[in-house]
Amino acid sequence: MTEQGYQVKLTDVFEGPMDLLLHLIKKNEVNIYDIPIAEITKQYLQYLEWMKALNIDFAGEFIVMASTLAQVKSRMLLPIASDLEGEEEDPRMEIVRPLTEYLQMKSAAEVLAQRTLLGEGTFTRTSGEVRQLFAQDDQLIQIGLFELIDAFQQILIKFDPEDRLDLTADRISVKDRITELVDMFEKKESLTFEELFSQRPNRTEVIVTFLAILEMVKLALIRLAQHSQTGVIRLFYQ
């Protein structure tokens, strides 16, 4: 890590394994009742590897879900057994049932169904700027960790694939980077994800900035939103 021993711990600010599955289902544009389990399992494990590489300490529930996906994937390779009524049980239902229940819970709490952020009161300190940055009928969607990882990956793929992640360099600490970002936000109050980096960022800068963003979200210093049409991620200083 860019700061020796530095580790980001996920709290309730960030999503759990169910949210990661829903993110992958949405990202792959597949039906929740017809999940391509092999591909989703592969991508799920890739996200865990990314979080491990970044020293993001995630809850054990992520590992439990990975095991469940692996079991379902194995069962999909076997003949589907019939239940007592003679009907065939799709192994994927072990995943689908809790997912649908979780969706209902999220919807009831108006967290998932009402994720679209409308109105100038969304960001109390930057309402005027929001109106200037986006048209009045544009929609901003609140996003979380996994959308941020997607954006982070898009920046990292620009580097030489032979250039391995070096998380031990000691050039700038995450705390120092947070201080720099706060100074940037004090001047502009909102920035796109790309604006956080220099024109030619090195891998260390990208990683430290990503970790700094996670900490700032946990500290409620910034809020993330994504333009529903362009996909541009903007960070708002609170």
Residue 88 sits in the same domain as residue 182: no
Residue 54 sits in the same domain as residue 149: no
Q: Where are the beta strands (DSSP E) in the chain?
A: 8-9, 56-57, 116-117, 140-142, 190-192, 222-227, 233-237
User: Residues 182-196, buried b or exposed e (16+ Cβ, 10 A)?
Assistant: eeebeeebbbebeeb
State which of 56, 89, 114 marks the end of a domain. Answer: 114
Residue 9 sits in the same domain as residue 44: yes
Residue 163 sits in the same domain as residue 188: yes
Residue type, 221: L
Length of the chain, please?
238
Q: Which of 59, 62, 60 is nearest to 47 (CA)?
A: 62
Domain that holds residue 104: 1-114
Residue 226 sits in the same domain as residue 133: yes
pLDDT in tens, the chain (238 residues): 444 445 555 544 567 899 899 999 999 999 999 999 999 999 999 999 888 877 777 778 899 999 999 999 999 887 665 555 556 778 999 999 999 998 888 777 654 444 444 443 443 344 444 434 444 445 667 778 888 888 888 887 777 655 555 555 455 788 899 999 999 999 988 898 888 887 777 778 888 888 899 888 888 888 888 887 778 888 998 8
Alpha-carbon 208 to chain mean position: 17
Total domains, the chain: 2
3-state helix, strand, coil in the chain (%, to 5): 50, 10, 40
> Exposed/middle/buried for 162, CB within 10 Å: 0-12, 13-18, 19+?
exposed
pTM: 0.72
Characterize the bridge pairing of strands 116-117 and 233-237: unpaired
Residue 45 sits in the same domain as residue 59: yes
Residue 185 sits in the same domain as residue 94: no
Residue 104 sits in the same domain as residue 120: no
State which of 114, 129, 159 marks the end of a domain. Answer: 114
State which of 114, 135, 151 marks the end of a domain. Answer: 114
Residue 108 sits in the same domain as residue 170: no
SS3 237: strand
Residue 20 sits in the same domain as residue 102: yes
> Cα–Cα distance between 203 and 208 in angstroms, integer?
9
